[in-house]
Amino acid sequence: MREIKYVEALNEALKEEMERDPDVILLGEDIGKEWQGAFKVTKGLEEIFGPERVRNTPISENSFVGCGVGAAMTGLKPVVEIMFGDLILLAMDQIINQAAKMRYMSGGQASVPIVIRTPFGSGGSYASHHSQSLEALFTHIPGLIVVQPSTPYDAKGLLKTAIRSIDPVMFFEHKFIYKKSGPVPEDEYLIPFGEADIKIEGSDLTIIATSMMVWHSIKVAKELKNEGISVEVVDPRTLVPLDKKTISDSVKKTGRALIVHEAVSRGGFSGEITKMIIDEAFDYLDAPIKTLGGLPTPIPFTPNLEKFVVPDPKRIKKAVIELVP
């Protein structure tokens, strides 16, 4: 199978869905042919589909997200790009009080088939306003689907599913996965929401990891295999809906669970997964559930401090060794 970059997989998904459905439109800052998106996800799309369907917007997130919500209610299928995930906070009313609630409050008469894509995460010395991981905020809101793909394969399949959804989808892309490559079929495929993926099978401990932490966890699992420790890595892929069965079945098999995400540990989605494991697999645990997340501090600008506040392979490996006798 061919290998392409994460950014290329997203671009392919957008292109294919725009070709398939003329109601799919793109909105966002600098997504047109001049800049092609801050991370080049929309490269070449204005040249193919024109400025009517690939629309550069003003620097006003609340305005163009609101436009996207209205357009979705009238029958279009907007894919809105927020240049940096942190700036999504400027459009919280449009997302939480309008997009998420509209189908319920209209008794099903109105749907909001909007996808809000945004890069997030640390690693480039972008400092506190451009490096956060805020996905857990949106998992708290009924009516929103929350997606966090870690690989090119997952990114393409889930974005195509998101665009075809009748409900609003928050689509989080780690900015330092964009250049990572992986196998992606040339034939069309979709990945259903609510289906986790076991990236590596193991028997001694389950790591439930998201986004960039999936890559770190796979690296650790391969290292520990040579040291006699068998680690299973489970990627939820979608936080809402969450595949409880795959996660709980894995924990039942291994008897140990480590949950890893880049977002601040306090209030992070690890708490929801922990609660689910207690409900579904408590009697199978041979050790306490362990969580590993970011430290409760704004992301520093200084590179060495930035690396210090989020989990890395070294810390993940240490946590696994602490759990496995």
Both 41 and 152 in one domain: the answer is: yes
Identify the residue whose tokens are 């996800």: 41
Q: How far is CA 55 from the centre of its chain?
A: 24
Tokens of 26: 């793109």
pLDDT at 120 (0 to 100): 97
Indicate if 212 and 155 belong to the same structural domain. no
Q: Are residues 147 and 291 in the same domain?
A: no
pLDDT (tens digit, 0 to 9) for every residue of the chain, 325 residues total? 899 999 999 999 999 999 999 999 999 999 999 999 999 999 999 999 999 999 999 999 999 999 999 999 999 999 999 999 999 999 999 999 999 999 999 999 999 999 999 999 999 999 999 999 999 999 999 999 999 999 999 999 999 999 999 999 999 999 999 999 999 999 999 999 999 999 999 999 999 999 999 999 999 999 999 999 999 999 999 999 999 999 999 999 999 999 999 999 999 999 999 999 999 999 999 999 999 999 999 999 999 999 999 999 999 999 999 999 8
Q: Is 51 exposed, middle or buried (0-12, 13-18, 19+ CB in 10 A)?
A: exposed
Is 189 inside any structural domain?
no
- Asked if 192 and 165 count as a contact pair (C-beta separation under 8 A), the reply is no
The per-residue pLDDT for 169 is 98
Helices and strands, number each (H, E), in the chain:
12, 14
Residue finishing a domain among 121, 152, 183: 183
Statement to judge: residues 262 and 314 lie in one domain: yes
27-145-234 Cα angle (round to 5) = 115
Q: Where are the beta strands (DSSP E) in the chain?
A: 3-5, 24-28, 54-56, 77-81, 115-120, 145-147, 169-174, 181-183, 197-200, 205-209, 231-235, 238-240, 257-264, 290-294
CATH assignment at residue 281: 3.40.50.920
Q: How many domains does the chain have?
A: 2
* Residue 198 backbone dihedrals phi, psi, to 5 degrees: -85, 110
Domain boundary among 183, 213, 238: 183
The span from the CA of 158 to the CA of 184, in Å, is: 12
Same domain, 25 and 156: yes
Instruction: Provide the domain limits for residue 30.
Output: 3-183
Q: Which of 130, 174, 216, 261 is catalytic?
A: 130
Give 208's strand partners: 234, 259
How many residues belong to the chain?
A: 325
**pLDDT score recorded for residue 325:** 86
Determine, yes or no, domain membership for 35: yes
CATH of the domain at 173: 3.40.50.970
Residue 205 within a domain: yes
pLDDT tens-digit series, residues 69-109: 999 999 999 999 999 999 999 999 999 999 999 999 999 99
User: What single-letter DSSP state applies at residue 135?
Assistant: H
Query: Is residue 29 exposed (0-12), middle (13-18) or buried (19+ Cβ within 10 Å)?
Result: buried
Q: Where does a domain end: 140, 161, 183?
A: 183
CA 149 distance to own-chain centroid: 5
- Could you give the dihedral angle defined by the CA atoms of residues 117, 118, 121 and 124, in that order, rounded to the nearest 10 degrees? 130
Are both 118 and 234 inside the same structural domain?
Answer: no
Is pTM beyond 0.85? Reply is: yes
- The pLDDT tens digits for 229-253 are 999 999 999 999 999 999 999 999 9
Active site residue 130: yes
